[in-house]
Amino acid sequence: MINLYYDTKMLDERAISEFGLSEEILQENAASKIEEVIRQNLQQKSKILFVCGSGNNAADAICTARKLSNDYECDIFLTSNKLNLLASMQLDRAKKAHVNLVENPEFSAYECFVDGIFGSGLNRDMSDKVCKIIDELNKAKGLKIAVDIPSGITKSGKIAQNAFMADFTITMGALKLALFLDSSKDLVGKIILANLGISKTNFETMSNSFLLEKTDLNLPFRHLQDTNKGNFGHLYVISGNLKGAAIIAANAGFSMGAGLVSVVSDEKIPNLDPFIMQTNSFAKAKVVVAGCGLGEKTLNLELLKDKICVIDADLCYKKEIVPFLEKNENLVLTPHPKEFASLLNLAGFGDFGIKDVQANRFDLARKWSEKFNSILVLKGANTIVSHKGKIFVSSFGSSILAKAGSGDALAGIIGGLLAQNYSPFEAAINGVLAHSLSVLNFKKNSYALTPNDIIEGIKCL
Angle at 428 between CA 220 and CA 356, to 5 degrees: 160
Give the pLDDT score at 101: 95
Whether 220 and 167 map to the same domain: the answer is no
Instruction: Report pLDDT for 158.
Output: 83
Q: Are residues 221 and 200 located together in one domain of the fold?
A: no
How far is residue 203 from each of residues 9, 17, 113, 121, 429, measured CA to CA in Å? 11, 12, 29, 19, 27
Residue 107 has pLDDT above 80, yes or no: yes
Q: What is the pLDDT of residue 64?
A: 97
Tell whether 75 and 193 lie within a shared domain.
Answer: yes
Are 188 and 240 in a shared domain? Answer: no
Flag whether 295 is in a domain.
Answer: yes
Are 197 and 59 members of one domain?
Answer: yes
CB-based burial label for 446 (10 Å; 0-12, 13-18, 19+): exposed
Instruction: Let me know how long the chain is.
Output: 461
**51 compared with 13, residue with greater pLDDT:** 51
* Average pLDDT of the residues in 62-74: 97
Opening angle at CA 59, ends 180 and 38, nearest 5:
65
What amino acid occupies position 401? L
Computed over every residue of the chain, the mean pLDDT equals 95
Task: Report the pLDDT value the prediction gives residue 125, as an integer from 0 to 100.
Answer: 84
Please identify, among 177, 204, 231, the residue that sits at the C-terminal boundary of a domain: 204
* Residue 189, in any domain of the structure: yes
Cβ burial, residue 246 (10 Å; 0-12/13-18/19+): buried
Do 194 and 223 lie in one domain? The reply is: no
Pair 19, 202: CB distance under 8 Å: yes
What are the distances in angstroms from CA 71 to CA 46, 261, 328?
Answer: 8, 63, 63
pLDDT digits (tens, 9 = 90+) for 196-226: 988 888 888 899 999 999 999 999 999 999 9
DSSP per position, 302-361 = GGGTTSEEEEEGGGGG-TTHHHHHHH--SEEEE--HHHHHHHHHHTTS----HHHHHHTH
Condensed to tens digits (0 to 9), the pLDDT of residues 424-433 reads: 999 999 999 9
- Per-residue pLDDT for 458 more than 80? yes
Tell me if 153 is assigned to some domain. yes
**Can you tell me the distance from the alpha carbon of 63 to that of 35, in angstroms, rounded to the nearest whole number?**
9
Residue-wise pLDDT for 14-54, tens only, equals 888 888 889 899 999 999 999 999 999 999 999 999 999 99
Query: Per residue in 269-307, pLDDT tens?
Result: 988 999 999 999 999 999 999 999 999 889 999 999 999
Residues 198 and 268 in one domain: no
Residue 77: CATH number of its domain: 3.40.50.10260
Q: Are residues 243 and 103 in the same domain?
A: no
The pLDDT > 70 percentage for the chain reads: 100
Residue list for the binding site: 57, 115, 119-125, 148, 151
Asked whether residue 304 falls in the same domain as residue 349, the answer is: yes
Using one digit for the tens of pLDDT, what is the confidence trace for 353-395?
999 999 999 999 999 999 999 999 999 999 999 999 999 999 9
Q: Which residues are CB-contacts of 43 (< 8 A; sequence separation ≥ 6)?
A: 111
What is the residue range of 68's domain? 2-204
Are the CB atoms for 405 and 362 separated by under 8 Å?
no
Domain match, 257 and 125 both? no
DSSP letter at 125 equals P
Q: Is the pLDDT of residue 248 over 90?
A: yes
What lies within 8 Å, CB to CB, of 317 at 6+ separation is 339, 342
Is 209 a domain residue? Answer: no
- Annotated binding site for (6S)-NADPHX: which residue ranges? 119-125, 148
The domain total for the chain is 2
pLDDT at residue 109, rounded to an integer: 96
Give me the half-sphere count of Cα atoms (radius 13 Å) on the Cβ side of residue 171. 29
184 and 236: one domain?
no
**Residue list for the binding site for K(+):** 57, 115, 151
- Shared-domain flag, residues 73 and 157: yes
CATH number of the domain residue 225 falls in: 3.40.1190.20
Evaluate if residue 121 carries a pLDDT over 80: no
**Sequence letter at residue 298:** T
Residues 6+ apart with CB under 8 A from 230: 259, 260
Look up the pTM and report it: 0.94
Check pLDDT > 80 for residue 73: yes
Q: For residues 454 and 98, what is the distance between their CA atoms, to the nearest angstrom?
A: 55
Domain boundary among 204, 224, 240: 204
pLDDT, average across residues 418-423: 98
- The domain boundary residue, chosen from 204, 224, 246: 204
Whether 210 is in a domain gets the answer no
